[in-house]
Amino acid sequence: MSICNAPWPTGTPCWVDLAVPDVSAATEFYAAVFDYFSPSVEGAGPAYITLHLDGDSLGGIGGLDNSPPGTSPHWMIYFMVADTDAAVAAATASGATVLDRPFDTPYGRMAVITDLQGATFAIMGAVSPN
């Protein structure tokens, strides 16, 4: 899976996730509306699938199982950054709130931020190809 890796330039949206209570229903809906192919992610179980169109990974759909009670279904957009820690520092210096401090994943270093208007988004620094 090529989540947030080349060819995404710094500062551009590179991934979207949808969190919903019923992954199967959401998968069927988006596959019907947009003709997405939606394979499961190895190791993630049926609670997370990825959306593909014409061979490109576009995003994913996952459950709300690990969310606080009362969390509404929502989309999360990820933006590519050159350096996750530096981007978090710049965001907090500008008044943003960090919801999830930078953490490492197999897909890159991520963080979740809320801007001054209350919009929540994620940032990710890509993993360098070896």
Q: Please provide the DSSP assignment of the chain as one string.
A: --TT-TTPPTTSEEEEEEEES-HHHHHHHHHHHH--B-PBPTTTGGGEEEEEETTEEEEEEEESTTSPTTPPPEEEEEEEES-HHHHHHHHHHTT-EEEEEEEEETTEEEEEEE-TTS-EEEEEEEPPP-
pLDDT band at 1 (very low <50, low <70, confident <90, very high): very low
79 forms beta bridges with 13, 123
- pLDDT reading at 84 higher than 90: yes
Q: What are the structural domain ranges in the chain?
A: 13-126
User: pLDDT tens across 20-41, in order?
Assistant: 999 989 989 988 898 887 777 7
CATH of 13-126, one of 2.40.30.110, 3.10.180.10, 3.40.50.720, 3.40.50.1010: 3.10.180.10
User: pLDDT tens across 95-124, in order?
Assistant: 999 999 999 988 889 999 999 999 999 999
